Amino acid sequence: MENTQIIASSILEPVLDRISKDYQLDPNDNRFTGFLNTSPQEEWSNAETMALVYMIENESLVLYELLKKYNLDVEDGPSKYETIFISLIKQLN
C-alpha cells in the first residue's frame, strides 16, 4: 500500500464504522431502512471528505474492500456531494 492510500484508509475506517452502526443500517432496529443517504461535503470533516474522494478516484477497489469489511456497499456514483450507503445485512423477518 502506498502512503496516501494508507492515510486515506485510516481516515475512512472510523467513518465507515460509525455509518455501519447507524440505526438505519441495523437490521435489529425497527427503524431499519437498509440504506443511509449522506452528504460527505456537508456532514463529514474536510479530511474525511478528501479521503473519500481520493479513494473513489484513485483506489476504488480498496474502497470496496473497506466497505465490505463493514458490511456496506454504496449505490453507483458515490461522490463528496452524495453517497448512499447500503447494508449488506438484510433485515430478518
| Residue 49 dihedral angles phi and psi, to the nearest 5° | -65, -45
Written as tens digits, the pLDDT of the chain (93 aa) is: 588 889 999 999 999 999 999 999 999 999 999 999 999 999 999 999 999 999 999 999 999 999 999 999 999 999 999 999 999 987 655
Q: 92: helix, coil or strand?
A: coil
**How many other CB atoms are found less than 10 A from the CB of residue 83?**
22
- Please report the pLDDT score of residue 92 as a whole number: 58
Distance of alpha carbon 45 from alpha carbon 69, whole angstroms: 22
- Please report the pLDDT score of residue 3 as a whole number: 86
Place of cell 474492500: 65
For the chain, the domains span 3-87
- Please report the pLDDT score of residue 2 as a whole number: 81
